[in-house]
Amino acid sequence: MSAAPITGGDVPALPRGVRLQFNQVRGQWFLQGPERVFEPDEIAVEILKRIDGVRTVDAIARELAVEFAAPEAEIAVDVAAFVAELLAIRMLERREAGP
Amino acid sequence: MKTPPPAPPVALLAELTHRCVLKCPYCSNPLELERRSAELDTATWLRVIDEAAALGVLQISFSGGEPMLRPDIAALVARAVERGLYTNLITSGVGFSPEALERVAQAGLDHVQLSVQGVEDAAADHVAGHGGSAAQKRRLAAEIARLGLRLTVNAVVHRGNVDQIPALVRMAEDWGAARVEIAHVQYYGWAVANRGRLMPTRVQVDQAIADLASERARTAGRLVIDAVTPDYYASYPKPCMGGWGAQNINVTPSGRALPCHAAETIPHLVFDNVRDRPLAEIWRDSAAFNAYRGTDWMAEPCRSCERRERDFGGCRCQALLFAGNAAATDPACSLSPLHDTLLAVAQRDSAPDGGAYAYRGYARP
Ligand code: SF4
Ligand code: SF4
């Protein structure tokens, strides 16, 4: 839970008590935590779906760069900023990178 | 003319029981507490959970009273999880064994909100009206940490403990909370009966606002601190949820469906019961939900005010209490003709009086 800046090697994860779900009734994705309901946009959903406690920030950016045919460096900056924002409000946590 | 159906509710507050070991003098339950014999059975609650999910509800809060006193709590949580709802348990931490929480955690519970009455045991137990309660809460907090559940510590603040905000936040941090709720007492029901012992002074409220800001700065990035603001000394009222009948359904232990937990204080409202009508129908058609939906019901000064979609004219229950009319402007608003009356009440009731709390219980104060 350090306030160290996000690096490409960081591994973000959804902690227990935070859920990413597609709601069938509303036909929409939601990211939920205690007293919090976020409606992530399309790009945010694509990032969140890849946050699994295994992939690094760099790996997520690489996949999205391929998927959306966009420059990887730019996407990496966006992903890191997105992750940092959610870390600060405890909607994500940082996992130790695997061996 | 047919009005379009309202957007689905976001949250269901399931008040499973009014039974509770503690007797907090600001309890948000009504003065007439519902008895065990009147409580909905398991099958009805399971149906209500199914109906809520089908309606598009996203979060369910199991509350009370003390929801852990219901033997079927784990089964209800399991059903809510199965239906894809985000599940909150709002608990006092007293009157049940930590092992019972383990079963609820295993059912898939997302989040526990644990209330505290203060940082010193004797003072906290005095507010709760129950010896040993603070120690029991500490034990439950340890169990929550062991189970790896997400924790919010909820502290209701009033004249007797509002000076402890920094210490309360530190205690929550020690317990491993990710979120803290500092809730100034809201005055309806039991809290009105105890207003003369609970109302903070203006100096205390100003200090509380400063303390909150510095605690937020100190814990930024590791703790979320939410606050329910003290409105008696404010210029504008606190917003009524996201609007009356816009986001929340509250179901009482006996099945009455309310737009908000204090709505029963408005005597002319008629509430439907989930035993008689499906939740979707209640949400759409119930007179109580439609009474103050939108802004058409408003009178001046709210009607032409630019803040009307932001605070929805403030609290209907507070309007009723002071104006005798639930459709009036909340007197916490400086534009209300009754604003000075409210301020005078706050000033009068914040004076030290030394009286004893009227504790919550089955006999009215
Ligand atoms: S007049 Fe009504 S809408 Fe305007 S700020 Fe006051 S309470 Fe809110
Ligand atoms: S009517 Fe008052 S008590 Fe009820 S939700 Fe609105 S602000 Fe809160």
CA of B243 to the centre of ligand 2 (A): 9
Q: Which pLDDT does position B28 carry in this prediction?
A: 87
A41: in domain: yes
B51 lines ligand 1 (CB under 6 A): no
Does B361 sit behind a cis peptide bond, omega within 30 degrees of 0 on the bond before it? no
Q: Tokens in use for B278?
A: 């499906």
Model confidence over B333-345: pLDDT tens digits?
Answer: 999 999 999 999 9
A49: in domain: yes
Number of domains within chain A: 1
A97: in domain: no
A96: in domain: no
Instruction: Please answer whether residues B245 and B292 qualify as being in contact, where contact means their C-beta atoms are separated by less than 8 angstroms.
Output: yes
For A32, the domain range is: 12-91
Query: CB pairs below 8 Å between A and B: how many?
Result: 62
Which letter does DSSP use for residue B177 in this model?
A: -
Nearest to A97 by CA among A59, A42, A67: A59
Q: Which residues of B touch A (CB under 8 A)?
A: 8, 10, 53-56, 58-59, 84, 86, 88, 110-111, 113, 148-150, 152, 178-179, 181, 220-224, 226
Q: Which of A66-70, B19-23, B361-365 has the lowest mean pLDDT?
A: B361-365
| Residue in B with minimal Cα distance to A5 | B221
Ligand nearest to the CA of B189: 2
Measured from the Cα of B316, ligand 2's closest atom is 1
A84: in domain: yes
Model confidence over B138-188: pLDDT tens digits?
Answer: 999 999 999 999 999 999 999 999 999 999 999 999 999 999 999 999 998
What is the average per-residue pLDDT within B70-95?
97
B316 lines ligand 2 (CB under 6 A): yes
Nearest to B75 by CA among B36, B39, B49, B114: B49
Q: Tokens in use for B354?
A: 């030394």
Residues of B whose CB is below 8 A from A35: 88, 152, 179, 181, 226
For residue A81, give the CATH number of its domain. 1.10.10.1150
Q: Which pLDDT does position B98 carry in this prediction?
A: 82
Q: How far apart are CA A11 and CA A9, in angstroms?
A: 6
- Asked if residue A88 has pLDDT above 70, the reply is yes
Nearest-Cα distance to chain A for B292, in Å, is: 24
Residues of B whose CB is below 8 A from A5: none
Q: Which pLDDT does position A3 carry in this prediction?
A: 59
Could you tell me how far CA B146 lies from the centroid of its own chain? Answer: 27
Q: Does A4 touch chain B (CB under 8 A)?
A: no
CA of B289 to the centre of ligand 2 (A): 12
Residues of B whose CB is below 8 A from A90: 178-179, 222-224
Q: Which of B149, B223, B226 faces A35 most closely, judged by CB atoms? A: B226
- Asked if residue A96 has pLDDT above 90, the reply is no
Q: Which pLDDT does position A1 carry in this prediction?
A: 43
Pairing verdict, β B248-251 and B257-258: antiparallel
A20: in domain: yes
Instruction: Please answer whether residues A9 and A86 qualify as being in contact, where contact means their C-beta atoms are separated by less than 8 angstroms.
Output: no
Which ranges of B116-257 does DSSP label H, i.e. alpha helix? 121-128, 133-147, 165-174, 190-193, 195-198, 202-219
Q: Which of B50-54, B128-132, B205-209, B358-362 has the lowest mean pLDDT?
A: B358-362
Question: Which CA distances in Å does B355 have to B21, B166, B193, B358, B359?
Answer: 23, 27, 12, 9, 12
Ligand nearest to the CA of B261: 2
Within 10 angstroms of residue A27's Cβ, the number of other Cβ atoms is 8
Given pLDDT bands bounded at 50, 70 and 90, which one contains residue B329?
very high
Q: Tell me, what's the ipTM?
A: 0.93
A6: in domain: no
Percent of residues in chain B assigned helix, strand, coil, to nearest 5: 40, 15, 50
Task: Give the DSSP H or E segment for B150.
Answer: strand B150-157
B302 lines ligand 1 (CB under 6 A): yes
Q: Which pLDDT does position B3 carry in this prediction?
A: 67
- Asked if residue B1 has pLDDT above 60, the reply is no
CA of B261 to the centre of ligand 1 (A): 22
Q: Which pLDDT does position A9 carry in this prediction?
A: 92
Q: Tokens in use for A60?
A: 């997520």
Q: Which pLDDT does position B364 carry in this prediction?
A: 57
A99: in domain: no
Ligand nearest to the CA of B239: 2
Edge-to-edge strand ranges of the sheet holding B224-228: B224-228, B179-184, B150-157, B111-116, B86-91, B59-63, B11-15, B248-251, B257-258
Q: Which residues pair with residue B14 across a beta bridge?
A: B62, B251
Model confidence over A32-73: pLDDT tens digits?
Answer: 999 999 999 999 999 999 999 999 999 999 999 999 999 999
